[in-house]
Chains A and B, each alone.
Chain A
Amino acid sequence: MSRCVSPSVLARLGTTADGFASERRHLEGCAACRTVLGRVAAAQAALVDARELPVPEASEVRAEATLRWLRVPPTPVSRRWQWGFGFGLTLAAAAAAFVLVPRWTQKQPQVAKILVPATPSEPALVAAPKVLHALITLRAGHVERQAVGHDRGVLDERGLLDEGDVLVTSAGASVAAQWGDGSGVLLHAGSELHLSTLRPDQQVLELPSGRVDVRVKPQARTPGQPPLLTVRTPGHLVHVRGTWFAVSAQGLETSIEVYEGTVEVTERDGASSTLLHAPSRGVFGRDKHAGRARTQPMTVDEAARLRQRSELNLLAFTDLSSLLKDSGSLMVTADAPADAQVTVAVDAVALGMSPLWLRREHGRHLIELSRRGFDPVRRWVTIGDEPGDLRLGMIRSAPKIVEEQPELAVIEELLRQRRSQIRSCYERSLKHNPELAGTVTLRLHLDDSGRVSTSAVDSETLSEPAVGRCLRNEAAGWSFPGGRNATIVYPFVFRAQ
């Protein structure tokens, strides 16, 4: 048989009906080459499809940013200035640079490394704005609040948060707050969040460090309006509309996980921006050349897992006063050491670690505590006007026993090896009773390693009980590979020959 045809020849062969006679003959008898031909043809079809791909639509935010940039007056300082100074080792060179630069900047339109202005989403509200207040929906651990004009103090979860407030969470602490229907934040441990703007048409959150999960109810937006919600980190601006996502800030690096919707991440200096569609994550550095954007999609399982730890305990929201009237608070504490990781779930949604303060609508709710190595505890509680306090003990789970029966071949192989010992048990009694015959059935219990832990005579038809005793003693040392915590019942049949 001739040699297989190379893929590039197959690619040419597929596009013409002429020539390649020997290759075509080879193909008829070679299944492998036919498979390759199929793949090559699929690749060629995909190349045609790639030509027909629709033009990606313009990012709305990017287009707006570009148009906004066009309205920004030219900045007098340009790179030529910097270069001029860089080359200004001699007085003559510096003087030349000073002469040339102003002329150049007059002629040159602003070259847009900055397509987005430095602070594109700075609030520019003219009319007296209506401000929002945020209601705390859960709190775990030590959280501090600094209100405008006040010193920082321990957060009183029954109070409302206002525009300008700063929240700081200690290690192991978290706090969630809600300001509208389906809109709120969950601040994780070791984080700091500034509620810089909290108004119906715009919310701006500043995250100097740590991690915050944000949910925003999808809303219609008219072009030209600033984004509804923006999270500012030291290095980036994260603009969102309807979405659910998490932002982490560490130094000038910003990490984003998008569970629902779309966010646009822009560098603080406006150098570039990237759209992230759910489910995906991105890590954005400060320096363009040090890997500015590393983004990748998330699997559905991963997104679901991350979503679980991002639950904000959002309540049904019409307005703040009715929410305050129709909800109550509950403190849930597990009777466990302070360092024990006890998860508190309310109505089957895990909300955080014990001890946990939470706000919930009036009525019956299912509280569940879970801790590794302990049985979960479930308790129905009724939340009313008065603050509730629930303290629950937990019981350590009984160790789980895994049973594995050894295979029959393993049992028979072991008994074949021990045949002489088994026979000697019988023959010893046969000396006293030459007519001795019958069956002894042993019940053997195996331990975790497959060794016989206990043995017993399950039934016997022999008239000599010494045979059963002898077999039990013999079986005490047996070990069955592959068996764990299992019981073996095996009949031994004896007959004199």
Chain B
Amino acid sequence: MKTPSGKIQAIGTASSEEHLLVQRCQAGEREALGEFYRRFRPDVARNLQRMLGPSRGDLEDVLQDVFIEVFRALQRFRGDSKLSTWLYRVCINVGLQRLRKVKRLAEVPDERVAEQRHDQTPERGLDARRRVDTIYRLLDQLSPKKRVVFVLHEIEGREPREIASLVGAPVLTVRTRLHYARKEFFALAAAEPRLDGGVA
């Protein structure tokens, strides 16, 4: 079973509510497109942020690219897979394109994220944010393919089998990429003095 991109196998089936929303979008109903955007924007933004890092100034640009791609491809969506899964694949593909095009287009600090961590003391929150920024700088040094697999496994906690279906690659390839990505990432982390000072 193929998705519109023709690469990735479907994982589940779309719920009836989602199916209805897609049908309304396919019919060109403007309110439905707005609803689609509002409903899925948080998930898409979260996925993109995990893949690209929190301090990029171009996250909104990539987000827009994802929705442009989604609205373009929605005509071909037949509901063979879950809408969220299909959307996630588009996120990965657009994110990969962006990573290939340019590494860290922008590094405009966004202090709002640190401010939103109410569960921690300000110092701990800031340390954690610095550490996260540091690891994304290390991830910038990995190839886009390895980075995506690494993020899906180490940050998202997905299994290689699931990753394989998301990125459209054999499981063995995913495992190989993951092995080398882990090796490269932790070697870079070992040489990174900004990670000194322990875990807050």
Task: Tell me the A residues contacting B by CB distance below 8 Å.
Answer: 6-8, 10-11, 35-36, 38-43, 45-47, 49-51, 53-59, 62, 66-67, 70-71, 74, 107-109, 111-113, 115, 272-277, 280, 282, 291-297
Contacts and interface: CB of A to CB of B under 8 A. Distances in A.
Given A11-B182, A108-B28, A295-B105, A39 B195 contact: yes
Task: Tell me if B's interface is mostly helix, strand, loop or mixed.
Answer: helix
Contacts of A66: 34, 37, 67
A6, A40, A273, A282: most-surrounded residue (chain B CB, <10 A): A40
Interface string B158-200: 0000000000000000000000001101110110110111110
B108 interface: yes
B64 A280 contact: no
B125 to A, nearest CB: 10
B96 interface: no
Given A51-B157, A55-B45, A59-B60, A277 B110 contact: yes
Contacts of A55: 42, 45-46, 49
Contacts, number: 177
A41 B46 contact: no
A56 B108 contact: no
Contacts of B58: 274, 293, 295
23 contacts: A7-B189, A10-B186, A10-B190, A38-B196, A39-B192, A39-B195, A40-B190, A42-B197, A46-B131, A53-B132, A67-B34, A107-B75, A108-B75, A109-B27, A109-B28, A111-B72, A273-B64, A275-B60, A277-B108, A280-B109, A293-B61, A294-B106, A295-B105
Nearest to A72: B30
A43 B138 contact: yes
A53 B75 CA distance: 33
A211 B4 CA distance: 47
Interface of B: 25-31, 33-34, 37, 41-42, 45-46, 49-50, 54, 57-61, 64, 67-68, 71-72, 75, 102, 105-113, 116-117, 128-129, 131-132, 134-136, 138, 154-157, 182-183, 185-187, 189-190, 192-193, 195-199
Given A39-B196, A43-B138, A67-B34, A51 B189 contact: no
Contacts of B34: 66-67, 70
B106 A46 contact: no
A71 B41 CA distance: 19
Interface of A (DSSP majority class): mixed
Given A70-B34, A274-B58, A297 B135 contact: no
B131 A112 contact: no
Contacts of B49: 53, 55-56
Nearest to A276: B108
Contact of B41 (A39, A50, A58, A296): A58
Given A39-B190, A54-B116, A291-B102, 7 more contacts: A7-B183, A11-B186, A45-B128, A46-B135, A49-B132, A53-B113, A109-B28
